[in-house]
Amino acid sequence: MAPAAPILLFDSGVGGLTVLAELRKVLPQAPVIYAADTAGLPYGAKSEAEIAARVAGLLGVLSERYRPRLAVIACNTASTIALGMVREVLQIPIVGTVPAIKPAAALTQTGTVGLLGTAATIRQRYVDQLEAEFAVGKHVVRFPAPGLVEAAEAKMRGDPVDPAIIHDAVQGLLAQPWGDQIDTVVLACTHFPLLADELARAFPRPVTFVDGAEGIARRTASLLAGQPFARSKPDLAVFTAEPDSRASFARMLSTYGLERIERL
C-alpha cells in the first residue's frame, strides 16, 4: 500500500467530521479525503432504493478518482441501507456506522434508552436487530429528528441554530411512551454530536449522550494496523454541490485538518 493512499470518509454533509475528529486521534498521520454528498442532502427523507443507488454510485466514483486504502461510511442512514451493496461494489475495506445501541444499553441505569436519528435510519430492520441483540429487557425509544441535520449544517457554516428545532427534537423524544425514563440517548446520526451542547441544555434533566464515532475510529485503526502513512499533499474536502465560499467555512474545515476544498 502506497503511504500516500488516503482514507476516504463519506457522509451526506458535515456530520462525518465528528468521525474524522476521532480518527485524527488514533491515526494522526493518515492522509484523508473527506467527501460530502451535499447535492443529495438530506438522506433521511429519501427512499431506501434511492439512498442505496446514490451511495454505491458515488463511492464507486470517489474510489476510482482518489484510490483510497479504506472507506468509512460516516453516516448512519447510508450505512444501515447501503453498506452491503457498497461492500459488493468496492474492492477495499469498508467501515460502516451503526447506532450505538450496544454501549448505550450497557450505560443506562433506568433501563430506557432514547434514540434520535433520521426517519430512514430509525425504521431500518438493522436497528431492530441491534435492539434485539444488545438491549434485551430494556426500552429503546426512537424518535425521528431530521431537523437536527439542517441545524448541524447551519452551525458548521457559522449560521444561527434555530432553538425550536432542538426543542422539538427533545420534547418529541420525551413525549414517547417511556420517554420520561430516558437517561441515555443514542445520537444515531453523525451530525447530531455537533449539537450535543444545544441538546444537553434542552433536556430537563441530565442525560448521557452516546455516539459511534470513537468506535468507528478504533475499527478503522485496527484494519490499517502496520500500514505506512505519509501525506504528499494537504488533506482534501470534496463536495457534490458547490461548497460554501465563505472564509469562515474554510477555517472550520481547517480545524479538522482539511486544508483543500473541491467540488466533485
Contact 34, 258 (CB under 8 A): yes
Angle between helices 76-89 and 48-66 (to 10 degrees): 60
For residue 46, the model assigns a pLDDT of: 87
Q: Report, as residue numbers or ranges, the catalytic residues.
A: 75, 189
pLDDT in tens, 37-63: 999 999 888 899 999 999 999 999 999
Domains observed in the chain: 7-97+214-263 (3.40.50.1860), 101-211 (3.40.50.1860)
For residue 117, the model assigns a pLDDT of: 95
Burial of 181 from C-beta contacts in 10 A (0-12 / 13-18 / 19+): middle
pLDDT in tens, 212-262: 999 999 999 999 999 999 999 999 999 999 999 999 999 999 999 999 999
Q: Which residues of 44-66 are buried (b: 16+ CB within 10 A; e: fewer)?
A: bebeeeebbebbbebbeebbeeb
CA torsion through residues 237, 242, 246, 249, sign: negative
pLDDT in tens, 107-166: 999 999 999 999 999 999 999 999 999 999 999 999 999 999 999 999 999 999 999 999
Q: Which residues of 9-33 are buried (b: 16+ CB within 10 A; e: fewer)?
A: bbbbbbbbbbbbbbbbeebeebbbb
pLDDT in tens, 166-223: 999 999 999 999 999 999 999 999 999 999 999 999 999 999 999 999 999 999 999 9
